[in-house]
């Protein structure tokens, strides 16, 4: 295979302009163009295609993680059936979202929306199972944050005691937000209810929560540790180096780790078009430090997702940032 990692990527090349196929890659990415229950800004269903395009602008020598591409990264084709399912389901969900909750006469529509969520759940579960059976690392490119549920469940079954590192502005502990069982705001409630094998979730960057979520987190006890953004800001302001905070975060995780990365965990200047942006969050530099500490820890990354990336026709900067986050997630998941 002749490949020049310094050359410009061709428009029809794979993720990051790479020439690899499924067989020759260590990391296999499933694009999930689904955001049917997005409650504020939409458009994350277009995230996978936007990230694919933007990834061709990412230079392949990463200062922290080296030639990440050498491990082999391959993104599967975007499935038209998922696009169609999302469009149909979004039409049903929007009137309910606009009202804030369902009415009795919405029962049939709610059932169809839930079936769509079940389909996505089953598809991502199947992806994780197949990729792990091949001895590879599964990743998901969303889509909204509801999309990786099945993958997380599958990996938890394969790796009992697994922990989750959730980088996010939100706890996502709402139960059936706006009446949707598979709401993007309910992903971690679903995970902690359905995947008993998850020993702990460590949340970083949280800064937009409700009473229900705080109360639910308290019921989880030691299974949940939350690093609130305001608390991080206080520690940084009083002289605690972020490196020390990153080490503390990583030490609180078990040996097997799943990374769930909602782009809104970053400062919104890096993701202004994401579905629910919130002031505050990690800088890109802080993210780099945290990911490097995680990689250097020797803990095993069993899988990951990147979700809630959205762009506009005039501005694809979010996808540019998302592609760079994705590349570094690959670097942490498959160290050389």
Q: What is the pLDDT of residues 176-207, one digit of tens each?
A: 998 889 999 999 999 999 999 999 999 999 99
C-alpha distances (whole Å) from 8 to each of 11, 108, 311, 315 are 9, 50, 23, 22
Q: Can you give the residue ranges of every domain in the chain? A: 15-333
pLDDT on residue 273? 92
CA distance 133 to 98: 42
DSSP assignment string, 254-309: -SEEEEEEEGGGB-GGG-TTSSS--S--B-HHHHHHHHHHHHHTT-EEEEEEEE--
The tens digit of pLDDT for each residue in 223-253 reads 999 999 999 999 999 999 999 999 999 999 9
Residue 101: closest CA among 35, 41, 151, 37: 37
Compute the CA torsion angle 214, 216, 221, 222 (nearest 10 deg).
Answer: -80
CB atoms within 10 A of CB 155: 27
Distant-in-sequence, close-in-space partners of 117: CB < 8 Å, separation ≥ 6? 36, 37, 146, 180, 181, 182
What does DSSP assign to residue 36?
Answer: T
**Does residue 113 carry a pLDDT above 90?**
yes
Taking domain 15-333, whether its CATH number is 3.40.800.10 is answered by yes
Round to whole Å and give the CA distance between 254 and 200: 8
3-state secondary structure of 115: helix
pTM above 0.85, yes or no: yes
């Amino acid at each position: 295979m002749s490949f020049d990692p310094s050359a410009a990527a061709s428009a029809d090349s794979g993720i990051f302009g790479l020439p690899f196929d499924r067989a020759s890659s260590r990391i296999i990415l499933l694009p999930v163009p689904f955001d049917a229950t997005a409650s504020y800004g939409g458009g994350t269903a277009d995230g996978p295609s936007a990230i694919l395009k933007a990834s061709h602008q990412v230079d392949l020598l990463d200062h922290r993680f080296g030639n990440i591409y050498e491990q082999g990264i391959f993104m599967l084709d975007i499935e038209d059936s998922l696009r169609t399912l999302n469009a149909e389901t979004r039409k049903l969900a929007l009137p309910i979202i606009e009202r804030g909750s369902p009415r009795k006469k919405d029962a049939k529509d709610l059932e169809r929306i839930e079936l769509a969520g079940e389909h996505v759940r089953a598809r991502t579960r199947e992806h994780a199972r197949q990729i792990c059976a091949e001895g590879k690392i599964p990743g998901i490119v969303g889509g909204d944050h509801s999309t990786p549920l099945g993958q997380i469940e599958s990996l938890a079954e394969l790796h009992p005691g697994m922990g989750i590192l959730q980088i996010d502005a939100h706890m996502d502990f709402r139960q059936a937000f706006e009446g949707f069982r598979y709401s993007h705001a309910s992903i971690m409630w679903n995970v902690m209810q359905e995947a008993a094998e998850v020993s702990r979730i460590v949340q970083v960057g949280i800064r937009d929560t409700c009473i229900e979520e705080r109360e639910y987190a308290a019921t989880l006890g030691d299974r949940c540790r939350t690093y609130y953004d305001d608390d991080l800001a206080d520690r940084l302001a009083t002289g605690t180096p972020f490196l020390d905070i990153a080490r503390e975060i990583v030490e609180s995780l078990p040996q097997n780790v799943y990374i769930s990365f909602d782009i809104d965990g970053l400062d919104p200047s890096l993701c202004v078009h994401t579905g629910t942006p919130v002031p505050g969050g990690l800088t890109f530099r802080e993210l780099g430090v945290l990911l490097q500490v995680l990689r250097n820890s020797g803990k095993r990354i069993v899988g990951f997702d990147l979700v809630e990336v959205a762009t506009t026709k005039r501005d694809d900067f979010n996808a540019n940032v998302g592609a760079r986050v994705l590349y570094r997630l690959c670097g942490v998941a498959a160290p050389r």
